[in-house]
């Protein structure tokens, strides 16, 4: 069972934050999606490509949202990725 508070809140320790390759830091799912919206395709493709999916791993292992992680595991399109995260945020806020 997903804990909405854990997913929507800041990470409990600074070193659990997500560090984008351009130096931007996301401490929660809101900062993640906002940074993704502002990121270039190159930044997104650095973190999500055929060899890795850094956001998926962070959402699964740090935020503990296996539902969202499953939705994002094979997604490679930045706009669709953002839409899926936003949809999940709405679901969690309404739980």
In tens, the pLDDT along 34-78 reads 999 999 999 999 999 999 999 999 999 999 999 999 999 999 999
Residue-averaged pLDDT of the chain? 96
The pLDDT value recorded for residue 22 is 95
| Domain total of the chain | 1
Rg (CA), the chain: 12
Residue 1: is its pLDDT beyond 80?
no
Residue 7: is its pLDDT beyond 80?
yes
Domain residues for 67?
A: 4-93
Distance CA 59, CA 40 (A): 20
Cβ within 8 Å of residue 44, ≥6 positions away = 36, 78, 81
**In angstroms, how far apart are the furthest CA atoms of the chain?**
34
């Amino acid at each position: 069972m997903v804990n909405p508070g854990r997913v929507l809140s800041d990470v409990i320790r600074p070193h659990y934050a997500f560090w984008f390759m351009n130096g931007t830091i996301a401490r929660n799912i809101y900062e993640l999606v906002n940074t993704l919206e502002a990121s270039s395709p190159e930044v997104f493709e650095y973190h999500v490509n055929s060899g890795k999916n850094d956001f998926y791993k962070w959402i699964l292992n740090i935020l503990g949202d296996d539902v969202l992680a499953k939705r994002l595991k094979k997604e490679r399109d930045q706009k669709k990725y953002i839409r899926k995260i936003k949809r999940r945020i709405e679901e969690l806020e309404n739980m």
